[in-house]
A and B are shown apart, each in its own frame.
Chain A
């Protein structure tokens, strides 16, 4: 595991600023990055695909795509990359950092928007700024894909009902001929305001070195 690691020490400071992680956390994540990439500079989709634990995840495709999505790099860019470097890896991970308890209300709102934006980008695959009915249907189908033989009709009706709900809470009065294009980001925020994103959508990043990191490349 311990191949020679060219750790660009000088980069860590601005990485800390950009992503908000601490030095320790960045070190740990860098180690993991090395593991996943086989000590190369960049990670490709296949590298992530090879992680065995992800096999059971119904939405693994979307997760992996999210890593290569330029929109998640905080840089107003669109499209997708083929490979990502450590910095981009870190930027994506930073979406899951828990918010500081000392943060002010505005900071919490910003963090919340950020996390919701990440989710939104995961659903809005064609990047037109709205989640259409088809995209939403895909989401529900993917969620149910691991559960055996699910009739697509049920998945579709769930997605339809959910869409209807979004439409009726956000745009209550629509004439029969109006067409609800899709869920915009504001509507998305609105329907998910019951879930406390800033605390729900975070995982614990370790400060200390753990010995339990399993290399994704080893066949288990």
Chain B
């Protein structure tokens, strides 16, 4: 049986691959034809336009044949081509995963660049001019924001804040060092190393410095693309990634500074000083703009309880506005976007519905994924298209200098930083940080933006930038994975967010804050605690609607876990046997403290049964909505033989159903910790979302039981869901909301108690029967009791 499925899978993949290739070829040919014909069309459109006019006029007279089928490409040209590009990108993504083993060796970014090269080559081969696709406007306003917003919205706040100092030092000081080192030495090489008549010697110092500042910034897109596949530990990931995000401020300032200086041609000390000031303005201003828009978004989301459908739109709009507003003032748009996403997230997620939450997640992942693919493809195309001026000296010196500067910078800075860190950075860490400094499309776009008059050497710059990008993405990108394996760098731990860890994380936070207070110095924990309290007291009240504002984090986390379990249970249809990492027969009964005075056989019955009843009712209430109606009748008082009912078969049936429920509950309650799925390629990781049932990967386990594995949300502040409100609404509004209900815990208890003793005894027997996993369990289970 297993071998057949494997071969089936393989042939299925090959078939899929074949189909994709056919589609791609078709599309590619349509595309080139479209590009070719579009150029031919333009001179003709004028004629055809007038032709049509006369046609209309003379229509009645000449009696021409009515054009049943007409070709008019011009009208749809732009949207059509855009769609074709996006389609190509998506098909490529599909194709890569169908080719076996390819995505393990070569990172996706490399493959996409190659595809771009091919497409550019094909277009050029057909004799047409390659469209300048990596237009800076397109890049900065359309392609880049989704990626950054995705990164900012899902930024793991805790590790980011803990390492903020390190990240800032790397981003600011590191980038400055790189820029000046590369720019300065390049100038030196140009002046000294070449003859005075060569073109290189004409490059001024300022131009070199500008080039240095463009090339020195680590690129978030490239880092994301590569690091997502190698799954290194959280610390390194956040260090490199945080650096790539925060160095945007430095890049923006340096770029504008040097650009203006080159235009003017002279630098004064005052201007230099103003440059430093402008750095702070750019960085802090960007963050401020972002925070402002974030708060606005959070506040808006407070009132969206009646129009749930447009909730995601607010998130996207406010973030994009933050980006654009920052760009108006030449502030750092990237930092604005990050700040906006990070600030609004906890409040928005407390306010919006579960569906909106999923929508936001999916849309962000989708857009950022498509953007990233397009960027790399365009990079390839632009390489073929762009005007090039290859200069061996310049290019090789640039590449070498970039590498050297990065290594020296990282080592030097780490030496200083380690004096202040509790967890020091080891040599291995430093190597990965240095090696992970990839350049990408931002550098290229910035180079593209250069003005030709001020920079006659623009083409040399562009060629060098592209070479560096290719080098870092291909060489470093491809080799970083084996190097990580070789150096045995600590990998990302599977996020097994258990409730015990959550409890103890909070406990530790309070403990350390307390110890700091006793010690008397205001450390890290003290300020964090103060911020949390401020947040709870004032901010949450403003920005979160209704009762959610008072919900403590632990309870929110717990509800989220229950919800996940419940969804899992319902999605699995109740029929499939739910596996666990640790198959366990432990149930609530095993841990309830029994009153220690009485010996085993005759337990203190009334007390135990009341506990059990409460337990069962609570579990049933919170986890099995669908059966709630049916099960309401299965409370203590009808499970046991109703003195007025003599249908023994009915009783037996009910007992069986209870048995099944209890079994599932037992199994379910042990699944509060669920292992994460094996690491996947980045796109699958990004597309797979925590609460999305379709994303479960089913792989055969050794004991032939289909395993369903779930990866839980990353360990951040719990993104709770506004269950009460939404389902309250749902009840009234939408009938098809077959979701799960969580009733508030304080439900009035029915207090009918006929002969307690009898029922208690029966209850106990029932419990004993239920918790015994008898052999008949499996067969009965398939008759799923969930309707």
Residue of A nearest to B667 (CB): A168
Q: How far is the CA of A67 from the CA of B511 in the complex (A)?
A: 12
Is there an interface contact between B670 and A164, defined as CB atoms closer than 8 Å? yes
Residue of A nearest to B593 (CB): A133
Residue of B nearest to A29 (CB): B519
A134 contacts across to B, CB distance below 8 A:
593
Q: Is A3 an interface residue (CB 8 A)?
A: no
Q: Is A191 an interface residue (CB 8 A)?
A: yes
Interface size of B by CB at 8 A reads 67
B523 contacts across to A, CB distance below 8 A:
203-204
Contact of A119 among B504, B554, B590 (CB under 8 A): B504
Query: B127 to nearest A CB, angstroms?
Result: 61
Query: B263 to nearest A CB, angstroms?
Result: 48
Chain B stretch 256-295: residues in CB contact (< 8 A) with chain A = none
Is there an interface contact between B745 and A174, defined as CB atoms closer than 8 Å? no
Is there an interface contact between B558 and A167, defined as CB atoms closer than 8 Å? no
A119 contacts across to B, CB distance below 8 A:
504, 507-508, 511
Q: How far is the CA of A160 from the CA of B745 in the complex (A)?
A: 15
B179-187, B494-502, B637-645: which lies at the A interface?
A: B494-502
For the complex of A and B, list the 9 residue pairs with the smallest distance between their C-beta atoms, beginning with the closest: A147-B552, A168-B584, A53-B517, A176-B771, A172-B584, A168-B670, A213-B520, A101-B424, A63-B514
Known contacts A63-B515, A158-B499, A165-B500; is-contact A214 B558 (Cβ 8 Å):
no
Contact of B507 among A51, A139, A212 (CB under 8 A): A139
Is there an interface contact between A180 and B521, defined as CB atoms closer than 8 Å? no
Query: A163 to nearest B CB, angstroms?
Result: 5
Q: Is B583 an interface residue (CB 8 A)?
A: yes
Q: What mask results when residues 171 to 187 of chain A are scored 1 for a CB within 8 Å of chain B, else 0?
A: 11111111110000000
Q: Apart from A203-B515, A212-B520, list 11 A-B contacts with CB within 8 A.
A: A60-B514, A63-B514, A144-B552, A162-B499, A162-B500, A168-B670, A174-B585, A191-B501, A194-B493, A199-B422, A204-B422
Is there an interface contact between A133 and B513, defined as CB atoms closer than 8 Å? no
Residue of A nearest to B768 (CB): A176
Q: How far is the CA of A140 from the CA of B552 in the complex (A)?
A: 12
Is there an interface contact between B499 and A148, defined as CB atoms closer than 8 Å? no
Residue of B nearest to A163 (CB): B591
Is there an interface contact between A32 and B554, defined as CB atoms closer than 8 Å? no
Q: Is B610 an interface residue (CB 8 A)?
A: no
B585 contacts across to A, CB distance below 8 A:
172-176
Q: How far is the CA of A180 from the CA of B585 in the complex (A)?
A: 12
Is there an interface contact between A192 and B501, defined as CB atoms closer than 8 Å? yes
Q: How far is the CA of A35 from the CA of B519 in the complex (A)?
A: 10
Main secondary structure of the interface of B (DSSP, over half): helix
Known contacts A194-B493, A194-B496; is-contact A212 B521 (Cβ 8 Å):
yes
Q: Is B618 an interface residue (CB 8 A)?
A: yes
B500 contacts across to A, CB distance below 8 A:
162, 165-166, 191-192
Chain B stretch 501-529: residues in CB contact (< 8 A) with chain A = 501, 503-508, 510-526, 529
Residue of B nearest to A118 (CB): B511
24 interchain pairs, CB-CB under 8 A: A32-B518, A51-B518, A58-B510, A59-B511, A63-B511, A63-B515, A101-B424, A101-B426, A119-B511, A143-B503, A144-B555, A161-B672, A165-B672, A167-B584, A168-B580, A172-B583, A172-B584, A172-B586, A173-B583, A176-B585, A176-B771, A180-B586, A194-B493, A195-B501
B507 contacts across to A, CB distance below 8 A:
59, 119, 139, 143
B26 contacts across to A, CB distance below 8 A:
none
Q: Is B582 an interface residue (CB 8 A)?
A: yes
Contact of B519 among A93, A157, A160, A191 (CB under 8 A): A93
A176 contacts across to B, CB distance below 8 A:
585, 587, 589-590, 767-768, 771-772
Known contacts A53-B517, A132-B593; is-contact A162 B503 (Cβ 8 Å):
yes
Q: What mask results when residues 55 to 98 of chain A are scored 1 for a CB within 8 Å of chain B, else 0?
A: 01111100100010000000000000000000000000100101
List the interface of chain A (C-beta within 8 A of B): 29, 32, 35-36, 48, 51, 53-54, 56-60, 63, 67, 93, 96, 98, 101, 119, 122, 132-134, 139-140, 143-144, 147-148, 150-151, 153-154, 157-158, 160-169, 171-180, 191-192, 194-195, 199-206, 210, 212-214, 216
B519 contacts across to A, CB distance below 8 A:
29, 32, 93, 203, 205
Best-surrounded residue of A51, A143, A150, A206 (most CB of chain B within 10 A): A143
Is there an interface contact between B505 and A195, defined as CB atoms closer than 8 Å? yes
Is there an interface contact between A203 and B516, defined as CB atoms closer than 8 Å? yes
Q: Is B698 an interface residue (CB 8 A)?
A: no
B618 contacts across to A, CB distance below 8 A:
157
Is there an interface contact between B514 and A203, defined as CB atoms closer than 8 Å? no
Contact of B582 among A158, A163, A169, A201 (CB under 8 A): A169
Is there an interface contact between A201 and B746, defined as CB atoms closer than 8 Å? no
Query: B571 to nearest A CB, angstroms?
Result: 21
Query: B429 to nearest A CB, angstroms?
Result: 11
A195 contacts across to B, CB distance below 8 A:
501, 504-505, 508
Residue of B nearest to A191 (CB): B500
A54 contacts across to B, CB distance below 8 A:
514, 517-518
Q: How far is the CA of A64 from the CA of B529 in the complex (A)?
A: 18
A51 contacts across to B, CB distance below 8 A:
517-518
B594 contacts across to A, CB distance below 8 A:
179
B493 contacts across to A, CB distance below 8 A:
194
Q: How far is the CA of A101 from the CA of B593 in the complex (A)?
A: 43
A147 contacts across to B, CB distance below 8 A:
550, 552, 555
Q: Is B592 an interface residue (CB 8 A)?
A: yes
Residue of B nearest to A32 (CB): B520
A202 contacts across to B, CB distance below 8 A:
422
A177 contacts across to B, CB distance below 8 A:
600
B517 contacts across to A, CB distance below 8 A:
51, 53-54, 57
Is there an interface contact between B588 and A164, defined as CB atoms closer than 8 Å? yes
Known contacts A165-B672, A173-B585, A199-B423; is-contact A93 B591 (Cβ 8 Å):
no
Query: A50 to nearest B CB, angstroms?
Result: 11
Contact of A59 among B514, B529, B558, B768 (CB under 8 A): B514
Q: How far is the CA of A168 from the CA of B554 in the complex (A)?
A: 21
Is there an interface contact between B586 and A164, defined as CB atoms closer than 8 Å? yes
A157 contacts across to B, CB distance below 8 A:
558, 618, 745
Known contacts A172-B585, A192-B500; is-contact A96 B515 (Cβ 8 Å):
yes
Contact of A180 among B496, B590, B600, B767 (CB under 8 A): B590
Query: B590 to nearest A CB, angstroms?
Result: 5
Chain B stretch 732-775: residues in CB contact (< 8 A) with chain A = 745-746, 767-768, 771-772
Query: A48 to nearest B CB, angstroms?
Result: 7
Contact of A201 among B508, B552, B673 (CB under 8 A): B508
B526 contacts across to A, CB distance below 8 A:
53
B580 contacts across to A, CB distance below 8 A:
168
Query: A32 to nearest B CB, angstroms?
Result: 5
Is there an interface contact between A158 and B670, defined as CB atoms closer than 8 Å? no
Q: How far is the CA of A117 from the CA of B160 in the complex (A)?
A: 29
Q: Is B533 an interface residue (CB 8 A)?
A: yes
Q: How far is the CA of A69 from the CA of B41 in the complex (A)?
A: 88
A35 contacts across to B, CB distance below 8 A:
520
A166 contacts across to B, CB distance below 8 A:
500
Is there an interface contact between B524 and A167, defined as CB atoms closer than 8 Å? no
Known contacts A54-B514, A154-B555, A172-B585; is-contact A212 B522 (Cβ 8 Å):
yes
Is there an interface contact between B591 and A140, defined as CB atoms closer than 8 Å? no
